[in-house]
Structure 1
């Protein structure tokens, strides 16, 4: 994987894209100013905090690499991460599990009354999975399918999923903007029981290959590789133009 300098800017771009694909959109230079320099724009303080808080977790090796060891530990870790991520949004009840049913595009997530039990049983059910990427996919799906919070579910899910990879020395996952629809389609295929998760794993494998191919040693190098590979492109516009996420240098 190379030394620490090889991944110097990975945490920033992971935080940037994890927020961008959820609708918290900043230009990459402005996001850099927010996360690295602490410059919070007066017009969007809550959005800026989301980016800065995500970066704060991901730039701390102990937090970014902390994987849950039990169902109870996962519940605690979910709440801890959410409390940090949503600290600037008291209306989203930071660190508190949902009390009302939530939906996305008409799809109903796990009911609040069944949430804790489903998370515990899901964690136990995946205990036999030992492959790091498969475990990351399982954690990502479990948390996303449960949607345990009023907001911030995708970001929390990706943090915990990536911890499974970091704990075993594997390359972390980033979902760049142009790959958002592929990622969501992969998740939906599992939710709709279209196969046994092969499509979702295929999406994640390619994302992992892309991360491994980008040069994260400096902001400028990473930015250039991401631009070359169409990572910043709007997914709908890219699709209409026949553009796909590609590996840098390919």
Structure 2
């Protein structure tokens, strides 16, 4: 019945619209106007007849629609409960995640604190080692300086001793030279006093037969042992005899 009512309504609506359009366009032809009027009336009748049938279908379908709406509401309530449950679970998960994040931050902070403490201990240990090394270096430097000072003092003492020995040797040598000079002077004086050892009065040029050197008055070796003395009247005679002049 609902389908038939829909067909009637559709045909009536089409006929009604068609009749109105034809009446407006063909008002001058009586036959056509009458036909269009019949179509218009028939469409109106079909429209009126099919209306109740469609309303009955709508009325009969209303409980089903109500049931569907209630089911939809029931499903929506269930979905809402599930959604609320999911939201609550999400909140719990978020709270657990926040707690874990907080614990992780605390662990990282503790780890950073431990690393900082370890770094401080390493720095303190390094500083202590550096201080110990500096102290050892300073001690070694002081010991080396003391050794150098002792060596310098020993060298100075040895140098002073060497200087003293050298001075003593020089003084002894000078004393020996002085004694030798004094002895030579005494010997020369004795030779001069004896007469046979004085060669200064025998001639102007005196030569030594051993060394082949001649001396002139004023030179150091002018007075010599008469046993070695050779007398010349001039330097030319001495040189002709193969003698050379003394340097001093």
* TM-score, normalisation: structure 2: 0.13
More helix by share: 2
Higher RCO (C-alpha 8 Å, min separation 6)? 1
* TM-score, normalisation: structure 1: 0.13
